[in-house]
Structure 1
Amino acid sequence: MNIFKQLLGTGLTALLVVALFSTTAEAQERGSDEARVSPNATVSQTIGTTEVTLTYGRPSVNDRTIFDGLVPFGQVWRTGANESTAITFSSDVMIEGETVEAGTYSLYSVPGEDEWTIIINSKLSWGTQYDQSADVLRVNVEPEMGREVEQFMIYFENVSENSAECVLHWDTTKVPFTIEV
């Protein structure tokens, strides 16, 4: 009991209350304590001294036609499932040669058969509440054929001291884009 009284006096109680409310708020924000069909994932890569982190939902193929089917060509896609995919840069970066300031953004894309548009957007939102007026950057890249993967994934390849390829990969489609510091 004396330890509890000491904790009350140290301010740790306030910290514990904040942590409890933060956890509760996160559970409410995602809508349920149940496991998601498209579970969340986080991937992070240090490029130079810059930390790049993405948090996204991982939908599955489930015997569906994905691109130009479930995900139509020529339309904005949230690039994952559930909430918009969040991408955070700890310092300024260049994506496909275009500057993006440090911060947290949404990552959207416009899939196409021969070309994809990668969109960095300043509005974080649920699902497809995309607001084009909040676009910070749009760049075009070419998709590639890749090995078949059931769940959508984002990962990094060709990492060097000052650049890396961020890869969007689902079904047999890979879409790499270059991030430089």
Structure 2
Amino acid sequence: MNTPKKNIFLLTVLFLFTMTASVFAQDAPKPKASPAATASGKVGQANISIAYSSPAVKGRKIWGELVPYGKAWRAGANEATTFTTDKDIMVQGKALKAGKYSLFMVPSEGEWQIIFNSQTGQWGTTREGANFDPANNVLTVNVKPKKSAKMSERLAYNVTPKGFSLMWENLEVPVAIK
């Protein structure tokens, strides 16, 4: 093969390779704005797991605006957050049977309600607000939020031997479990 034909052949192969790569790149899935996440750990003998979607702050004011005060919230994004325990536990001094629950929260500046609801698998919100039937609430406890040690861009849960905490923006919401 002489040089001009060889160059044309190489350029053609390079062009086809580039076009093929760009076509496949367009089909690559984009990362979710609020990716699924799970926090798990042990509290005493109980295995605790919290499944949620993790939204980002993205420069927004979270508490009192994106997540309004005084209204039930799905405690994450997308589907309702779920809380699972394989043993009976005490949450803030109140009994919660082993099982899987939807976790909702009602934030306020001074005190939050943490709601464990027996209905699971639902989308987290409707046009009216949080998507749960209060008749299925199994346990509601009150907790005090506190300023977090550092800013959390993404909503996250942490399960420790003392319970769990929600951390997002500049706030931490600890929930005691025994």
TM interval, shorter chain, is 0.7 to 0.9
Q: Which runs of 5+ in 2 are unaligned?
A: 1-28, 126-130
1:95 aligns with 2:97: no
Task: Map 1:52-71; keep pairs closer than 5 Å.
Answer: 52-71=48-67
Question: C-alpha deviations, 1:45-83, integer Å up to 9, x for none?
Answer: 112221000100000001101000000000000000011
Quote the residue 1:153 is aligned against: 156
Q: Percent identity?
A: 39
Find runs of 4+ consecutive structure 1 residues off by over 3 angstroms. none
How many residues in Structure 1 have an aligned counterpart in Structure 2? 143
CA RMSD of aligned residues (A): 1.1
Structure with more contact order per residue of length (Cα contacts < 8 Å, sep ≥ 6): 2
Quote the residue 1:137 is aligned against: 139
Q: Which runs of 5+ in 1 are unaligned?
A: 1-32
Quote the residue 1:9 is aligned against: none
The structure with the largest alpha-carbon Rg is: 2
Quote the residue 1:5 is aligned against: none
**Whole-Å separation in 2 of the counterparts to 1:36 and 1:167:** 23
Question: C-alpha deviations, 1:79-104, integer Å up to 9, x for none?
Answer: 00011111101010110011011000
**Whole-Å separation in 2 of the counterparts to 1:91 and 1:135:** 19
Task: Map 1:1-181; keep pairs closer than 5 Å.
Answer: 35-124=31-120, 125-128=122-125, 129-146=131-148, 147-157=150-160, 159=161, 164-180=162-178
**TM-score normalised over the length of structure 2:** 0.77
